[in-house]
Amino acid sequence: MSDFLKTSSYDFTLPQELIATTPAVPADSAKLLVYNRANNTITHTIFKNILDFLPQDLTIFLNDTKVIKARVFGKKATGANIELLLNKPLFMDRFLVLIKGKVKIGTTLTFDEKLKAKVLELNEDGTRVVEFYLDNKKLDFISLIEILNKIGHIPLPPYMQREDTKDDEKNYQTLFAKNYGAVAAPTASLHFTSELLEELEKKYGLNYLTLHVGAGTFKPVDVEDILSHPMHSEYFEISIDCKTKIDKAKNILAVGTTVTRTLEFYARKNMICGECDLFLNPSNKPIIVNHLLTNFHLPKSTLIMLVASFIGLEKTLEIYNEAIKNNYRFYSYGDAMLII
């Protein structure tokens, strides 16, 4: 038996060719592995058939966050190249960012469209706090988004090992993306076609909440004991209507890890907006979410630990091995898994 509190227990070897760098076309032709806990069976199918496996009485929740073109390339006053990744807005029109290249407090960075960023703080975890300016006028979040939409790049996860293309602007965004704020897509939702969403809406009704996925979602756990991991926090919002649906729901399907964390954070804290820093793992199991739809995640990540909070570490690794054996595609553009 592996120790579910040890980070090393969540490691597995993935052949490089199983890392998806482009999505399945059409989206619902992706593979779907269905794990049924009631009879401990694994079924291999395709995403298009998902309705065949969902229970009758179900309340479905999705994340309507929208990915920002958060990656921009610019220069320092010295002429040296710099790359900046917007992570999230803070108070007073300040922003948390990651910067590739050396900067000091007071450094000004210049980008296209006359956009400038001034470095205000250097944090120990490698993040930086900046303010953005246009013609000496400090920018708020909405104004910044408008400029980033012109000059920014879709922040594809580093493991794709390629530059973003025009196609990614559509592919790395859910069909129902609405509220700008994420630097990574809620990828379990990328498998839906408009026809499939329509069918689900008709049969179950669909409910939307918002959690702005941050760069921390890709951060591997690098401490020996998982409970020592400093969990990243992400801003979330649940509407009053959505809250009512959660309170009444008997049987919940969370589409993705971000939805799961938001619902479970609400169940514990009774908050409908704020910063969600919930870390689900086998020692902190879900209390209201019964079913999970998700992709296949990175080794030693908080996301694979979240899957293990539903079905345990041994079963998670068994399913991952089964997926590898059957050539499932992994990570953001990869195939899906449904736990019922």
Quick: pLDDT tens for 110-146. Answer: 999 999 999 999 999 899 999 999 999 999 999 999 9
The CA R_g of the chain, rounded to the nearest whole Å, is: 20
Structure token pair of residue 249? 């729901």
Would the CA dihedral through 264, 265, 269, 272 be positive or negative? negative
Cβ-based neighbour number of residue 299 at 10 Å? 16
So what's the pLDDT on residue 298?
A: 94
> For the chain, where are the E strands, in sequence order?
31-36, 41-46, 59-63, 65-67, 71-76, 81-89, 95-100, 108-110, 115-122, 128-134, 137-138, 179-182, 206-211, 234-237, 252-255, 273-276, 291-295, 336-339
Answer for the pair 340, 35: CB distance below 8 angstroms, yes or no.
Answer: yes
Residue 58 to residue 77: CA distance in whole angstroms: 56
Mean pLDDT by 10 residues, the chain (340 residues): 90 96 97 98 98 97 97 96 95 95 96 98 95 96 96 94 95 97 96 98 98 86 94 95 98 98 98 97 97 97 97 98 98 97
Helices 302-311, 313-325: crossing angle, 10 deg rounding: 110
Q: In angstroms, what CA-CA distances link 256 with 147, 156, 263, 328, 332?
A: 30, 18, 11, 18, 11
So what's the pLDDT on residue 30?
A: 98
So what's the pLDDT on residue 217?
A: 80
Structure token pair of residue 48? 């298009």
Residue 243 to residue 256: CA distance in whole angstroms: 18
So what's the pLDDT on residue 37?
A: 97
So what's the pLDDT on residue 218?
A: 77
So what's the pLDDT on residue 331?
A: 96
Residue 236 to residue 64: CA distance in whole angstroms: 11
Residue 30 to residue 187: CA distance in whole angstroms: 12
